[in-house]
Amino acid sequence: MLELYSKAKLPTMAGTFEIYTFKWEDSKDHAVLVKGDVMNAQNIPVRIHSECFTGDVLGSLRCDCRDQLMRSLVYLGKQDVGMLIYLRQEGRGIGLLNKVKAYDLQDQGYDTVEANLLLGLPVDRRDYTYAVEVLRYFNIHSIKLITNNPAKVDFLSGNDIVVSERIPIKSTPTPYDEFYLSTKKVRMGHQL
């Protein structure tokens, strides 16, 4: 059961949001940024972003995570209402320690899917149940999802959240993330 723990105003480079934290069964410190009055709102833009320490914080060029996060935040900052749900599930849910091991395998020529499998891990272990519960907390049943990942759309749809529109995130590939983005498109079905 999701329980509100705290909320406060959060001025950002993209505008002022309210940041919410909730007590949740996985004990991770997820965060929810809210723009405007979203209670009972429908068809609002929502970004569900999984933590990427190397990209989000350190600015790694191996992935487009920071670019997706910043573009989403800027987009949401221009809207009357919207939400960014930041999930603490690093490395597609495998954690930072295993993510760095996977990086080493990628440096040896394996793609991101192969690297996870060689480590005996699933390709993607992420779970979006927390995001569904957050949407239910605010009584939101339909959203415009900011994503390139069809698995997020499928998960939400399978949990009675209507995705009325998919808003793509367009990033410019770099020499460092071209192979990674290609793998996401070809092997994971991302709509890039």
Q: How far apart are CA 152 and CA 29, in angstroms?
A: 20
Residue 183 has pLDDT above 70, yes or no: no
Domain that holds residue 151: 3-89+127-187
Instruction: Kindly state whether residues 69 and 109 are assigned to the same domain.
Output: no
Burial of 17 (0-12, 13-18, 19+ CB in 10 A): buried
pLDDT confidence band for 16 (50 / 70 / 90): very high
Whether 192 is in a domain gets the answer no
Instruction: Kindly state whether residues 74 and 144 are assigned to the same domain.
Output: yes
pLDDT at 180 (0 to 100): 60
Cite the active site residues: 124, 126
Share of residues in the chain with pLDDT > 90 (%): 66
Say which range, 35-49, 130-144, 170-184, has the weakest mean pLDDT: 170-184
pLDDT confidence band for 176 (50 / 70 / 90): low
Taking the CA atoms of 104, 109, 113 and 117 in sequence, report the sign of the dihedral they define: negative
Count of domains forming the chain: 2
Residue 94 has pLDDT above 80, yes or no: yes
Instruction: Kindly state whether residues 55 and 135 are assigned to the same domain.
Output: yes
- The pLDDT of 134-150, averaged and rounded, is 95
Task: Identify the helix (H) or strand (E) that includes residue 9.
Answer: strand 3-12
Instruction: Kindly state whether residues 51 and 64 are assigned to the same domain.
Output: yes
Residue 41, SS3 per DSSP = coil
Instruction: Kindly state whether residues 105 and 141 are assigned to the same domain.
Output: no
Instruction: Kindly state whether residues 34 and 82 are assigned to the same domain.
Output: yes
Residue 63 has pLDDT above 80, yes or no: yes
Instruction: Kindly state whether residues 83 and 117 are assigned to the same domain.
Output: no
From the DSSP assignment, how many helices (H) and strands (E) are in the chain?
6, 7
